[in-house]
Amino acid sequence: MIRFFCGNENESEQSIKANVKRGNIELKRDSIKEGDVSFRKNSRARHYLVRVDTTGAIILTIPSRGTKKEALEFANEHGEWLRQKQQETIAQKEQSKLCDGSKVLLAGEWETLKITKDRGRPVLTLGVLSSYIADETSDHRWSLSELMKNEAKRWFPDRVKGLATNHNIAFERVVVRGQKTRWGSCSSSGTISLNWKLVQAPVWVRDYVIVHELMHVREMNHSDRFWRLVENAFPAYKEAEKWLDDNSRWMNW
Ligand SMILES: [Zn+2]
């Protein structure tokens, strides 16, 4: 459930053409020919089968006594549907890329990812964050995650220190990581681990995650007693949990 937007809807026709160039799949309006498809021989298949795979390629399955010629005739009976399906698949694939113009959350705001140039070198910018990148045309997932990781490493340690002081809690150290399923954790030795993806959340939500983990230094479980500690320290904790529930699908890409 990741949705990024590359370009606007009016450009879809043009962007499909561009995608096709990049994906090395030639979209033609005319009939489907031998070079347009991948054939699969399947002795157990009883009929010709045709499908479009996740890359947008047409896959034709030929039954034991079938021929390529007949398979192609079959494919062309469904030609319009196949071309349509191909276009949709490729457009969808392209949409899930992070590129110039994609909308990404940062500090709770939807920011537009921008790729610009500085003295010939491509630069990626999202809100207040920016860095040089190697390639201006690729999917920018990796560059953006590195940028956010650095921001998280810069921001979280001091913030945790501050909140720990406010609540009079002693912790061991702060680690910023890329956990798949957690926003944070607290070890028995007092190490607070926080997910770098949290830089996409507003500061008050990040604060909640920090306070939650700090309270685990006192109470290593999710008992009623633990939640009372959290509520005392962070009265809006339910709103913060809700924000994370509502927005985590945009934060995991
Ligand atoms: Zn917890």
Is 130 domain-assigned?
A: yes
Report the chain's mean pLDDT, rounded to a whole number.
86
**Residue 125 confidence (pLDDT):** 97
Query: 124 and 60 in one domain?
Result: no
On the 0-12 / 13-18 / 19+ scale of CB atoms within 10 A, 236 is middle
Query: 215 and 171 in one domain?
Result: yes
Cα separation, 207 vs 198, whole angstroms? 10
Cα separation, 175 vs 160, whole angstroms? 11
Q: Which of 218, 198, 211, 214 is nearest to 237 (CA)?
A: 211
CATH of residue 231's domain is 3.30.2010.10
Query: 217 and 162 in one domain?
Result: yes
Cα atoms in the Cβ-side hemisphere of radius 13 Å centred on 63:
10
Ligand 1 centroid–CA 192 distance in Å is: 11
Cα separation, 245 vs 248, whole angstroms? 6
Pairing of strands 121-126, 114-118: antiparallel
Ligand 1 centroid–CA 161 distance in Å is: 18
**Model confidence at 12: pLDDT above 50:** no
Query: 152 and 138 in one domain?
Result: no
Is 234 domain-assigned?
A: yes
Total structural domains within the chain: 3
Q: Which DSSP helix (H) or strand (E) runs through 116? A: strand 114-118
Ligand 1 centroid–CA 151 distance in Å is: 24
Cα atoms in the Cβ-side hemisphere of radius 13 Å centred on 3:
3
Ligand 1 centroid–CA 212 distance in Å is: 6
Which tokens is 85 given?
A: 């399906």
**Residue 22 confidence (pLDDT):** 42
**Residue-number span of the structural domain to which 35 is assigned:** 9-95
Please answer whether residues 171 and 182 qualify as being in contact, where contact means their C-beta atoms are separated by less than 8 angstroms: no
Of the residues 95, 113, 134, the one at which a domain ends: 95
**Model confidence at 1: pLDDT above 80:** no
**Residue 21 confidence (pLDDT):** 42
Query: 151 and 139 in one domain?
Result: no
Is 1 domain-assigned?
A: no
Ligand 1 centroid–CA 215 distance in Å is: 8
The answer for residues whose C-beta is within 8 angstroms of residue 152's C-beta and 6 or more apart is 176, 194, 195, 196, 198, 199
Is 35 domain-assigned?
A: yes
pTM value > 0.75: no
Is 3 domain-assigned?
A: no
Cα separation, 74 vs 131, whole angstroms? 51
Please answer whether residues 99 and 139 qualify as being in contact, where contact means their C-beta atoms are separated by less than 8 angstroms: yes
**Residue 28 confidence (pLDDT):** 52
Average pLDDT over residues 224-243: 97
Strand partners, 185: 193
Ligand 1 centroid–CA 211 distance in Å is: 10
The answer for residues whose C-beta is within 8 angstroms of residue 188's C-beta and 6 or more apart is 220
Query: 124 and 161 in one domain?
Result: no
Please answer whether residues 114 and 100 qualify as being in contact, where contact means their C-beta atoms are separated by less than 8 angstroms: yes
Query: 247 and 151 in one domain?
Result: yes
Is 2 domain-assigned?
A: no
Ligand 1 centroid–CA 216 distance in Å is: 7
Query: 158 and 245 in one domain?
Result: yes
Query: 45 and 113 in one domain?
Result: no
Please answer whether residues 115 and 7 qualify as being in contact, where contact means their C-beta atoms are separated by less than 8 angstroms: no
Is 127 domain-assigned?
A: yes
**Model confidence at 166: pLDDT above 80:** yes
Q: Which DSSP helix (H) or strand (E) runs through 176? A: strand 173-177
Q: Where residue 188 falls among pLDDT bands split at 50, 70, 90?
A: very high
**Residue 193 confidence (pLDDT):** 96
Q: Which DSSP helix (H) or strand (E) runs through 129? A: strand 129-132
Query: 241 and 154 in one domain?
Result: yes
**Residue 89 confidence (pLDDT):** 81
| Selected residue with higher pLDDT from 82 and 6 | 82
Residue showing tokens 């009079």: 168
Look at 11-20, 87-96, 149-158, 224-233 and tell me which has the smallest mean pLDDT: 11-20
**Model confidence at 119: pLDDT above 60:** yes
Query: 114 and 80 in one domain?
Result: no
Average pLDDT over residues 49-77: 90
Is 116 domain-assigned?
A: yes
Of the residues 87, 114, 143, the one at which a domain ends: 143
Cα separation, 126 vs 246, whole angstroms? 22
Query: 234 and 181 in one domain?
Result: yes
Pairing of strands 129-132, 121-126: antiparallel
Q: Where residue 55 falls among pLDDT bands split at 50, 70, 90?
A: confident
**Residue 31 confidence (pLDDT):** 83
